[in-house]
Amino acid sequence: MKNVRLYYPLFLGIALAIGIVLGNVLQSTDSDAYLASSSAKKRKLNRLIDLIDQRYVDEVNTDSIVDVTVNGILQNLDPHSVYISSEEADAVHDNMRGDFTGIGIRFFMDNDTISVLSALENGPSNRAGIRGGDKILYADGKPLYGENALDSDILKGKEGSTVTLQVLHPGDTKPVTVKVVRGNVPLKSVDASYMLTNDIGYIRVNRFAESTATEFDNAIDMLLDKGAQELVLDLRDNPGGVLNAAIDISDEFLKDDQLILFQKDRDGERKDSYATSKGDFENKPVYILINENSASASEVVAGALQDNDTGTIIGRRSFGKGLVQQEINLGDGSAVRLTVSRYYTPTGRSIQRPYEKGNDDYYKEYIERYHSGELENESNIKVNDSLRKVTPAGKVVYGGGGIIPDVFVPAPDGYISQSLDYFARAGFADRFANRYLQNEGTRLLNMSEEEFVEEYSVSELLMEDFIQYTQSYNTSISLPGYRDEVALVIKSALAEQLFGTELKVKLLNEQDEMIQKVMELSNTNN
């Protein structure tokens, strides 16, 4: 159970991302036609809420009752029909659009102070010279620490407006004044795009937003200009997002008129999506990396390519989400994401996992993969022969619970290795690295990226400090035998805060077994 407890934060984060923030989302609609009804049951519910509001003995916030009621109704439908409160709506919509207005920082509250993890690339703070390790103490003369620690809304504002910050840089004893002009901040969904070798390009996509297809196109063009003849598309831990973005990316690899997916609504009406002639990587080898946290739109891409006998799917069985939601405005700033159809891969597979026994059972089945051993051994993956399909080239594929890869790569062996892999991928070391930069990292802040990669090595003392840090989270990692792995976790976290996410990805990929499998397959095929 200790191993499973370690992963609960990851399970919760993935479930939240898949169920609330992200999913296979169609274009939203504000049509009141969806809400119009005169049924007696709905009138009864409205009357009950009115009675509580007008006659109940105690003062009651009926808005909260409505929220609870809506959530309760949706939880009895499927795991991915969700309610978005008016308070959540802006953040959710920013994530889907792929941008927001603000100063553009990733931060956390360190005791009672805003500590900057990184200034988002091409954002206002980045241009103003703010970087990882900085502390923001004042905004327009107002303190942002102590009793005002959580009042970070002052950092928001209209595009083009200016906020004057007092920023304490690592190693300094006095803050400096930094003026930041608020602006549009891109939320990048392409974390990294670079050449693994002279011939193999690599792109990592962290989610599917409205801006993802454009980001991906730009990355493809850049890699082609650098001579890419093969491509690795990394969709590990990608929980999904906007369906059209997944269709557009699939189109890059499929030939004209090949089926990408089809959807069916409650009446059985079918909607097909086909590839066009625009693909830039149609006739070149592609490797799609997936794992147990690749879901939704990620599975659309993997399923479309696998069923069309295009490329090679590498990794572990994906999450298994084959439902499509539509966002409907409820008129008060809140919205509902309602499942309106299922999608099917080109061979006719639904990869949606069963959810008839309720949401708790649905997510327990996901956790059960850790107990069953399927992450370590492909033979432990359970398949349903009644859901067996065959691709045009004769490859056998299965529906009913995610995409099973063409080439299986097991999870790291053993509790400690899996823990360190999780720490590296999930940002577990972010706070540790940030505090180190604030206290001891002045020398690192003066390094170039090349110097950091080639010259910086994590000290034994810092590794010992990290082990103590992990113990505060009820883990028991011991250093002997895992020095290289621990050093990589720390260095990659520092790299992201100093130089951006792409360098973190590059460092982690140097020791990555799926990347090594790609190299092996590429060498064999060539």
- Note whether 24 and 300 are within 8 A (CB): yes
At residue 95, φ and ψ (nearest 5 deg) are -60, -40
> Is 265 in the active site?
no
The residue assigned the tokens 């990294």 is 192
Short-list 276, 274, 311, CA closest to 403: 311
If 0-12 CB within 10 Å is exposed, 13-18 middle and 19+ buried, where does residue 518 land? buried
Q: Which one of 307, 406, 421, 512 is the catalytic residue?
A: 307
Short-list 188, 235, 241, 236, CA closest to 20: 241
Residue 155 DSSP code? G
State how far the alpha carbon of 442 is from the alpha carbons of 43, 177, 333, 433, in Å. 65, 19, 45, 13
Short-list 457, 435, 437, CA closest to 498: 437
> Is 321 in the active site?
yes
DSSP string, 36-80: ----HHHHHHHHHHHHHHHH-SS---HHHHHHHHHHHHHHTT-TT
Q: Which one of 135, 188, 321, 504 is the catalytic residue?
A: 321
CA 468, 474, 480, 483 dihedral sign is: negative
- Note whether 261 and 300 are within 8 A (CB): yes
CA 61, 82, 120, 468 dihedral sign is: positive
Q: Which one of 81, 211, 296, 419 is the catalytic residue?
A: 296
State how far the alpha carbon of 11 is from the alpha carbons of 137, 293, 390, 471, 512, in Å. 34, 9, 32, 20, 22
Beta bridge partners of 332: none
- Note whether 314 and 327 are within 8 A (CB): no
- Note whether 168 and 115 are within 8 A (CB): no
List residues with catalytic annotation: 296, 307, 321
